[in-house]
A and B are shown apart, each in its own frame.
Chain A
């Protein structure tokens, strides 16, 4: 920790320094959060906008008992899991290659982080264009080289795949860079010693690379899950707001739709709370579990 903290300077100045930022965070985050909690227990909607009243946990009951919720929940988990599997495996794999003695390493590294650098909404809109069934580059390529025609944006799972491919493109550089940082800090001697003991490639990977990469990857994966679970931009912009016929949603885009196009505000607020609680439970458990296994080493 910081050198100064050990001195335990308790000071009013500290409050002065943190106050402005905390006020802004409170204004934009804490206040809406509390507001959100309150309306999640209310019947607020377009017809009850000003004369809303508290109605208890009806909204929560509705969320949980709605078949759509479970359907989109399943889809969101699938979406998050597939994305993370691809992000981490591609990222770690490329990082391992870039960690070898190869000429032109920094050239490859720079080009490989490009997807991370492009603003997310541009990525999403661009990929939507590339999936266009008539003039999109992907459709043209598949048609020309393989003679296949996939209706990307007009079917439910086609659109899901389109979002998935877009987000894989977007997300692997982050994992790659984090993994590369982790790999570079593993001393070569460990691998040399293992080689002398006659360890196979797989044994070295399993007993050196994975455990030593874990402390860096666990926080990155936690963040990755949170970001992907809540990734509104890609799903909304690639599927143009849930097309076809509101099938292509994850939980967060579905809430947006109920909140901002159907104006069921109380319901949407309760829905948002449920998403938040899911993520909180996940992160808490995931970090605790991975810390627990760390203690074994």
Chain B
């Protein structure tokens, strides 16, 4: 009798065929973008399907960095993402701790409330934000962007941190308390260092949220000098015939860091998601 996880030969061949097929489906668009980005300028609109074009060249990348404000957008995105990471991690670390360790009035309401925010259609928040901005003439300001992104990232990061704190035994805190450590000292000197892995993941998640967001930025930022990467790339795409190559090169550069981070993080992301759901 076969073991449950073993496959017959035919089954194995079938499994490999299906997996290969879906893998091609998964990576083809990515390869496609890459392929366009290394096409020489006069052959952008080719009808060839070859993934590595003839006379592959990096000239589009050179143009992207030297003739377009790509570096400026990148710097803008980095500033915003760094600020969101700082705010997001700081807040998730403390809030998650309180949810994990304390019983206080409004705790359950706050936790459910945080989840409910996921159901808001994005227009429900954008519209009031937009009206407020017009009234205050507060366009083109990163502070609004940072606050909005932090709030977007918070529900997930708070639950993630809470799940991790839940796994740290409470006896550690009792011992420290007996040794005369203050409440805040326990959190700051004992729990926080132990939660370092979760903090790193939370930080990367917050960073990725800000790095990849398009819509809120499109409403809040009008000044071309303040454009973040998503806004910048969209400008290439809107004149597709002209800048297909530039868009593709930009997309490749923007995606590489997040894709690498994500693949590295995926294990923890999932445990965060399932922990939250099983325990919640």
A residues engaging B (CB < 8 A)? Answer: 1-5, 7-11, 13-15, 17-18, 20-22, 24-25, 27-29, 31-33, 35-36, 39, 44, 49, 90, 93-94, 97-102, 108, 110-123, 125-130, 132, 134-135, 137, 140-141, 144, 169, 173, 177-178, 181-182, 188, 191-192, 195, 215-216, 219-220, 223, 226-227, 230, 232-233, 236-237, 251-252, 255-256, 259-260, 265, 268-269, 271-273, 275-276, 279-280, 283
Contacts and interface: CB of A to CB of B under 8 A. Distances in A.
A24 B154 contact: yes
Given A97-B18, A268-B123, 4 more contacts: A119-B211, A121-B233, A252-B121, A259-B123
B16 interface: yes
Interface of B: 1, 3-7, 11-12, 15-16, 18-19, 22-23, 25-30, 32-33, 36, 45-47, 49, 87, 90-92, 94-95, 97-104, 107, 110, 113-114, 116-132, 134, 147-148, 150-151, 154, 158, 162, 165-166, 169-171, 173, 183-184, 187, 211-212, 214-215, 219, 230, 233-234, 237, 240, 244, 247, 251, 254-255, 258-259, 262-263, 266, 270-271, 273-274, 276-280
Contacts of A102: 7, 12, 15-16, 19
B259 A129 contact: no
B26 to A, nearest CB: 5
B273 A140 contact: no
Contacts of A137: 28, 32, 49
B98 to A, nearest CB: 4
B131 A25 contact: no
Contact of B266 (A115, A177, A226): A177
21 contacts: A2-B170, A3-B169, A4-B170, A4-B173, A9-B103, A20-B94, A22-B95, A28-B129, A28-B147, A31-B128, A32-B127, A33-B120, A102-B19, A111-B26, A114-B259, A117-B255, A121-B234, A137-B32, A216-B277, A252-B121, A275-B124
Contacts of A129: 36, 237, 240, 244, 247
Contacts of A14: 98, 101-102, 104, 107
A276 B121 contact: yes
A230 B26 contact: no
Contact of A17 (B7, B32, B97): B97
A8 B107 CA distance: 12
B62 to A, nearest CB: 21
Given A94-B19, A126-B32, A260 B219 contact: yes
A252 B215 CA distance: 12
B178 to A, nearest CB: 14
A188 B3 contact: yes
B102 to A, nearest CB: 4
A91 to B, nearest CB: 10
B94 A4 contact: no
A223 B117 CA distance: 12
A134 B46 CA distance: 10
Contacts of A219: 276-277, 280
Nearest to A143: B47
